[in-house]
Amino acid sequence: MTSTPELLQLLTRAERLAVRGLRQVLSDTDSGLNVDGWRVLALLADGAGHRMTTVADCAFLPPASLTKLMDQLVDQGLVHRRVDPLDRRRILAYLTPRGREVWAEVDARLGEEWAGAGASPDAEALATLLGRLAEALEGAEGGAEVPAARR
């Protein structure tokens, strides 16, 4: 049986290696994105439009940092913001056509990198296990709700 320290070490190692690979892909594609920007585009790629609070949760950023990042993504022509038609007090974020192109390029390249590393066959099972782990750990923190986009 794997001990908790071993499991934490494996998770940390995998996360660091994954982020290192992601940074390399972002650099190679000249996307102008950093990891936080990639997380935002990953969420917005569904085309649904998301509130800033949801984007902040899914990007693991405090609101002030998200505002600065969103301003940069808007300036790069990757994201645009609109008033929510159902609640005019809220702002929704969407990818621009250029943002969708950049996302598609980065996502395809990242998929190639992961497939080359042999991660593809087990990706579904890994996502399920990690999702269960995250939900269990968040539940242990007092029932914190997992945003739908992070499930």
- Bigger pLDDT: 124 vs 18: 18
Amino acid letter, residue 32: G
Q: Is residue 42 part of a domain?
A: yes
- Number of domains present in the structure of the chain: 1
Q: Which of 104, 81, 115, 80 is nearest to 31 (CA)?
A: 104
Q: Phi, psi (5° rounding) for residue 51? A: -70, 155
Q: Is residue 71 part of a domain?
A: yes
**What's the domain range around 107?**
4-116
- Bigger pLDDT: 33 vs 141: 33
pTM of the model: 0.83
**Cα angle, residue 35 at apex, residues 103 and 83 outer, rounded to 5°:** 60
| Mean pLDDT of all residues belonging to the chain | 89
Tens-digit pLDDT profile for residues 106-116: 999 998 888 87
Q: Is residue 55 part of a domain?
A: yes
Q: Is residue 88 part of a domain?
A: yes
Q: What is the pLDDT at residue 139?
A: 86
CATH of the domain at 21: 1.10.10.10
Cα gap 149→57, rounded to integer Å = 9
Q: Is residue 29 part of a domain?
A: yes
